[in-house]
Chain A
Amino acid sequence: MYYRTFLAILVFWTTHLLSQKQSNISTILVENNFSEFKINEAKKRTFLKQKKTILTKINPLHYISGGLLYFYQNIISEQIQANCQYQISCSENMKKEISKKGLLIGVLNGLDQLGNCSGSILTDYPDYKITKEGKINNAIE
């Protein structure tokens, strides 16, 4: 008797799971429009823009950091297919922060973002900061 009941439950769950799977396939089929797949063109990564002051013009660190960021964004990032948790990636954010707040603050901000980049940090941010794509909106305020 016990064996039969167990078998019945097993059959019920198997069919239930199969039906679930079936419905999932049908929803995927409905959602797909079978149009030609287009690959999004990669964003153009520009060289670091900085304030045109004498200090930035003569400071070699600005050119080194700009060059390193350019190299990372155009060569390394393309290869590793990095998927960032933030809307603006750490390298792009670092570039923006450097051009807005200076080299030191920019580098520290970028490294802090890089150190924090993980899926679990989404819950640490308020809901309105999470975009529809499930990324953190980190636009400079």
Chain B
Amino acid sequence: MKLALLSFFICSTLQINAQIDYQFVKHLQANNLHTEHHYYLQKLEQQKNNSDSVNYLYAKLYLQQHNDSLFFKYYNLSRQVFNDDTAAIKYADYYFLSNPNKKLQAEWFSQNKTSDSIHMQVVNFYNNVQKKEPMPIFMNKQLTNDLKKYRKLQSKSPILAACLSAFIPGLGKLYGQQPNSAAITFFSHGIYGYQSYESIKKYGIKNGFSIFSVSLFGLFYISNIYGSFNDLVKLKKQRKQQLLIDAEKYYHINYPASLY
């Protein structure tokens, strides 16, 4: 009887020691005690108990530290447990929306993790920014309008922008949704062009000043064609990034989620 009682006592003590103290983890996180947090998780790992939960805590720690590669490693090891935590999923959603690493972003939003409506909306929004799917109705009108504008920009061709700029300097920039830049380019090229025309008219084409002004105008003219092409390519990427940043801000403000 005594032996049985002793063995029960030892077993229960071991069990208690092996359990994860979530309150303690929360305390470590709240006070940004990352080294201690890591050490505690390492100790739990050494006890080889409930490895799924430990991996889940590791994933949360690396998500908080923005260590993307290690987060994915531990997320994949504790997928089931992590997906049950709606707050953590939301936190990761907001984080990956504005993440500059496109590969990891695509990996995270590749599938719905839970049936939570906000999560599904975020995934839907991301997929709509990536592909030309039928336009959904989001909760926020501003986001929907921005997405419409972005889609319009996406359908524009950089080669056509370059051709338009060759036809009339600045027209390609106007086509690429840069009206102010278009106006400046048009007026500056107008002045360069007129000045070249005047110098040719006054001094003749063989004059040194005429050659200089025509060459300068030519250089600016070619740079305007190249700039229209290049700006549209860059602007497409930048507007996409801005859209995702706006979505991250919107969801984060309206549907906040703490990691712990």
Contact A118/B184 with A108-B226, A112-B224 known, Cβ cut-off 8 Å: yes
Chain B, residues 120-135, CB within 8 Å of chain A (1/0): the string is: 0000000000000000
CB atoms of B227 and A126 under 8 A apart: no
CB atoms of A127 and B242 under 8 A apart: yes
Instruction: Say if the beta carbon of B241 comes within 8 Å of chain A.
Output: yes
Instruction: Say if the beta carbon of A109 comes within 8 Å of chain B.
Output: yes
Instruction: Say if the beta carbon of A123 comes within 8 Å of chain B.
Output: yes
CA–CA, A123 to B173, complex, Å?
13
Interface of B is mostly: helix
CA–CA, A141 to B178, complex, Å?
20
CA–CA, A120 to B186, complex, Å?
14
Chain A, residues 105-128, CB within 8 Å of chain B (1/0): the string is: 101111111011010110111111
Q: Report the count of interface residues on B (CB-CB < 8 A).
A: 26
CB atoms of A116 and B242 under 8 A apart: no
Residue of B nearest to A138 (CB): B234
Q: Which of B7-15, B56-64, B215-223 contacts A (4 or more CB under 8 A)?
A: B215-223
Instruction: Say if the beta carbon of B55 comes within 8 Å of chain A.
Output: no
Instruction: Say if the beta carbon of A129 comes within 8 Å of chain B.
Output: yes
CB atoms of B180 and A118 under 8 A apart: yes
CB atoms of B188 and A126 under 8 A apart: no
CA–CA, A128 to B185, complex, Å?
24
Please indicate which of the listed interface residues A107, A108, A113, A127 has the most CB atoms of chain B within 10 Å of its own CB.
A108
CA–CA, A125 to B184, complex, Å?
15
Chain A residues with Cβ below 8 Å from B241 are 126, 128
CA–CA, A137 to B142, complex, Å?
25
Rounded to whole Å, the gap between the CB of A97 and the closest CB of chain B is 10
Rounded to whole Å, the gap between the CB of A32 and the closest CB of chain B is 34
CA–CA, A125 to B245, complex, Å?
14
CB atoms of B230 and A121 under 8 A apart: no
Chain A residues with Cβ below 8 Å from B222 are 108
Please indicate which of the listed interface residues B227, B230, B234 has the most CB atoms of chain A within 10 Å of its own CB.
B227
Instruction: Say if the beta carbon of B238 comes within 8 Å of chain A.
Output: yes
Chain A residues with Cβ below 8 Å from B189 are 115
Residue of A nearest to B225 (CB): A108
CA–CA, A111 to B224, complex, Å?
8
The answer, among B177, B223, B237, for a CB contact under 8 Å with A112, is: B223
Instruction: Say if the beta carbon of B69 comes within 8 Å of chain A.
Output: no
CA–CA, A105 to B174, complex, Å?
22
CB atoms of A112 and B238 under 8 A apart: no
CB atoms of A121 and B184 under 8 A apart: yes
CA–CA, A108 to B224, complex, Å?
8
Chain B residues with Cβ below 8 Å from A109 are 223, 226-227, 230
Besides the known contacts A124-B180, A128-B245, A141-B237, 9 further A-B residue pairs in the complex with CB atoms under 8 A apart: A110-B223, A112-B230, A115-B184, A115-B220, A126-B241, A127-B245, A128-B242, A129-B238, A129-B242
Interface residues of A (CB under 8 A from B): 105, 107-113, 115-116, 118, 120-121, 123-129, 141
